[in-house]
Structure 1
Amino acid sequence: MGRGKIRYWAAAKDAAGVAEEPFDAANLHDLMTKVTLNRDELARVVARSSFLVNGDPVGKRPHESVALPDGATVEVLPPFAGG
């Protein structure tokens, strides 16, 4: 199980109520399940978001297949308007 930090940006930060928090999870699916538990607005934002793990885009890979090593930084990037 990896330990690291999750960073929230824009609407995800607002929904989470914090800019970042520590995590303990084996993969991205487990992490998203944990952080959205009893946080309905965050769950809605996360469902539309993209993710970076240590700066690398997750893309369309199944979240169960995205392992989180110790020291990982996961960034939650909701859709942004403009460019």
Structure 2
Amino acid sequence: MSGAAPYDDDHANVVTVRYWAAVRSAAGIAEEQVDARTLADLQHEILRRHRDRDRFADVLSICSTLIGSVPVGARDPSEVLLTAGDTVELLPPFAGG
């Protein structure tokens, strides 16, 4: 997560999104690059990109989110700032050992 400078529209704020387990299956890809300054921006963009994929929005809604190794928890996505180069991990609940 970041103490990022204010967003500059002239410069991209590209982060990597990694999809795991069921959300990977629903997205049809393992990872992608997204230009987003907040977690809310990122969520909006990936929902737009995958709106035609069965189950994507449903699975995304139950995912835990980590930025790097830091869990986002119940924080407001619009208040979670992203920094260029961050990795956002999306992990649906899964069972196993």
Q: TM-score, normalised by structure 2?
A: 0.79
Question: What is the match of residue 74 of structure 1?
Answer: 88
Measured on the aligned residues, the alpha-carbon RMSD in Å equals: 1.3
CA distance, structure 1, for counterparts of residue 45 and residue 89 of structure 2: 15
Q: Aligned letter for 2:85?
A: G
Q: Which runs of 5+ in 2 are unaligned?
A: 1-6, 8-12
Asked if residue 15 in structure 1 is aligned to residue 29 in structure 2, the reply is no
From 46, 56, 59, the counterpart of 1:45: 59
Per the alignment, in what secondary structure is the counterpart of residue 71 of structure 1?
Answer: coil
Instruction: Specify which structure has the higher proportion of helix.
Output: 1
Runs (4 or more) in structure 1 with deviation over 4 Å come to none
Bigger CA radius of gyration: 2
CA distance, structure 2, for counterparts of residue 57 and residue 63 of structure 1: 12
> What is the identity percentage for the equivalent residue pairs of Structure 1 and Structure 2?
47
CA distance, structure 2, for counterparts of residue 68 and residue 4 of structure 1: 8
Q: Give the number of aligned pairs.
A: 83
Q: Which runs of 5+ in 1 are unaligned?
A: none
Q: TM-score, normalised by structure 1?
A: 0.91
